Structure 1
Amino acid sequence: MKIVDTVIRVRYAETDQMGIVYHSNYIIWFEIGRTDWFRKIGQDYKSLEEKNILLPVIGVNCQYKKSALYDDLVIIRTYLKELKGVRLTFHYEVLREKDRELLAEGESQHAFVDRNQKPIALKKKFPEIWEMLKNNLE
């Protein structure tokens, strides 16, 4: 399993008046983690899109545990949890870097589709990408 840790610093624009990260930013952080995960396994989003493979989000959830604050360094821990048919699921943990406290965790589900939103049987059409994903599965 390929676990990728991506470190970011909480920006002022991501917080509310109390300096607490606004909830929707965690979903954006999940995307940062996911795109970094793909880069680290050698298959970035841009090259997938050039092959007419898109990965729209078909489901997402997040459980908030503790607040991230302005200027915190946070770790977005990402791994591929499930690869099945035309779908895949990523798991995320958001941790404060200094104490490794779990701030939030969640998942996102995606479908393999082409530009016309038609499902792609990745295992058949792009077996090399399927194998790369399978080799980096939890």
Structure 2
Amino acid sequence: MFVTKIRPRVSETDGVGHINNTFVPVWFEAGREEIFRILTPDLSFKNWHLAVVNMNVDFTNQIHFGTEVEVRTWVHRFGNKSFMLYEEMFQGEILCAKGTVTYVYMDYQAQKSAAIPEPIRNELQKHLKET
């Protein structure tokens, strides 16, 4: 599991007084940086191999300005050319959102999906969420 801390900003707070729901997917993506480093250690888009093909978010509680948020990210499962992440977002001890995202490993020069290389698969395996 990877853990990322997020500091909510005033500008992310909407008129109802909670963090606007459009920021939750952005914060989940921030929690994926170490996953991105497994696939592209230098984070260079020139060497990028990921494409999002599906994303789901369930909002379970409100998030407010003034208290840090923790994003927890696991590998949920993976296949030959794709993998799914599972994420949870907590403010304090309260689960505020959970979701999944599926990425396809891409060969952008050929403009098609490709098999995830074995060294990457082995590293992703280390971060599988236990059921």
Please give the TM-score of this superposition, normalised by the length of structure 2: 0.86
Q: How big is each residue's C-alpha offset from its partner over 1:37-60, in whole Å with a ceiling of 9 and x where there is no partner?
A: 444xxx264536578442111000
* 1:63 counterpart residue number: 58
Match for 1:27: what amino acid? P
Match for 2:12: what amino acid? E
List alignment gaps of at least 5 residues for structure 1: none
1:78 is paired with a residue whose SS is strand
Please give the TM-score of this superposition, normalised by the length of structure 1: 0.82
Q: Is residue 2:84 matched to residue 1:89?
A: yes
* 1:137 counterpart residue number: 128
List alignment gaps of at least 5 residues for structure 2: none
CA distance in 2: counterparts of 1:64 and 1:50, whole angstroms: 31
* 1:33 counterpart residue number: 31
* 1:13 counterpart residue number: 11
Displacement after TM superposition at 1:112 (Å)? 0.2
* 2:99 counterpart residue number: 106
Match for 2:113: what amino acid? P
Structure (1/2) with the larger helix percentage: 1
RMSD between superposed Cα atoms in Å: 2.0
Structure (1/2) with the larger strand percentage: 2
